[in-house]
Amino acid sequence: METISVLSAWISENESVFSGMAALLVLSGFIFTALRYFRQSFAPKISKKSEVIESEKITLQKLSSPSPHPIQFASVDGLRIAFNTIGSAEETLIVCPGIVSNLHVAAHLPAIRDSMNALAEFSRVVCFDKRGQGLSDTVLGTTELEERYKDIGAVAEASDSEKFFLMGISEGGPMSIRYAIESPEKIKGLILFGTSAKFVQSEDFQIGISEKGLDALAESWGSGRARSTFFPSMSRNEMDDDVYKGLERLLAERDSMRQLVGYMKTLDVREIVPNVSCPCLVIHFSGDMAIPVRLGRALAENLPNCEFLEVAGIDHSDLAKSPEAIKAIHEFMISNS
């Protein structure tokens, strides 16, 4: 009994110490409980996020898989021109692609896929592969502008597009300009993105791209060197270099690229640009390393009834990276509907 009395007295004298220890134990329990909750609640989410990132990596298998948008065909000059539609809005926007295209690849390559999906929020987007490219019929040798621009009319008819907005991207710009002049009754408005009336440098066009630069594009095609020109901001975690090299070869063989570059050198619609009668919107990324912004400015200066919009960016034709550009296109279409 005496021992118990002594122990009780000692506990009474040190009550504050025990209170502190109890508080510490309670606090420790709270901390450990919180840590356990965090580990159980958030660790799986972090893991799932990693899985999502892994699943979004671009592979050649994914790029070459069928487009979720059904492929249809228009006919012109005895050739089948492949096209598809994205979205179901009232206004139609026919998109004329750049130097190379493939509708299957376009449906899975983020730069193109996301751009077309953004446009499809407010328009029925009609995309197509030009003759000799992608899913369209092959052609022997090179084709000229006089032939190529007719692809637009064929696609418009096959897609039941009586009156529409037309968008020309990069090398697709000149043929879009030509079509707008030849069929003004069809066009509500012309949108030109990352393009020019003429591409190659000459005595009377000093601001153009050097022939040497264009030749280098063709000769290095398939090596992946063009990545820093066309998709400089695309992460290698998203698409590694080997896949990018495969992408180039999937879009075109080197011989085909030589022919396309040769055709691109001949393009010059400067004389007919002033004849465009429809409203125009020219958009260009300020840091475009494929088609410098100075070419877009020169084009806009010679187009009647034209608005020029320079937006921040370094990718050649990734509209999805510029909400400002998407908004401008939407407003342009509303104003001219």
Model confidence pLDDT, tens digit, residues 280-315: 999 999 999 999 999 999 999 999 999 999 999 999
SS3 track for the chain: CHHHHHHHHHHHHCHHHHHHHHHHHHHHHHHHHHHHHHHHHHHHHHHHHHHHHHHCCCCHHHHCCCCCCCCEEEEECCEEEEEEEECCCCCEEEEECCCCCCHHHHCCCHHHHHHHHHHCCCCEEEEECCCCCCCCCCCCCCCCHHHHCHHHHHHHHHCCCCCEEEEEECCHHHHHHHHHHHCHHHEEEEEEECCCCECECECCECCCECHHHHHHHHHCCCCCCCHHHHCCCCCCCCCCHHHHHHHHHHHCCHHHHHHHHHHHHHCECCCCHHHCCCCEEEEEECCCCCCCHHHHHHHHHHCCCEEEEEECCCCCCCHHHCHHHHHHHHHHHHHCC
Which ranges of the chain have pLDDT less than 50? Answer: 1, 3-4, 6-8, 10-11, 14-52
pTM of the model as a whole: 0.84
Task: Quote the pLDDT of residue 41.
Answer: 46
Task: Quote the pLDDT of residue 317.
Answer: 84
Task: Quote the pLDDT of residue 5.
Answer: 52
Tens digits of residue pLDDT in 234-254: 999 999 999 999 999 999 999
Task: Quote the pLDDT of residue 141.
Answer: 73
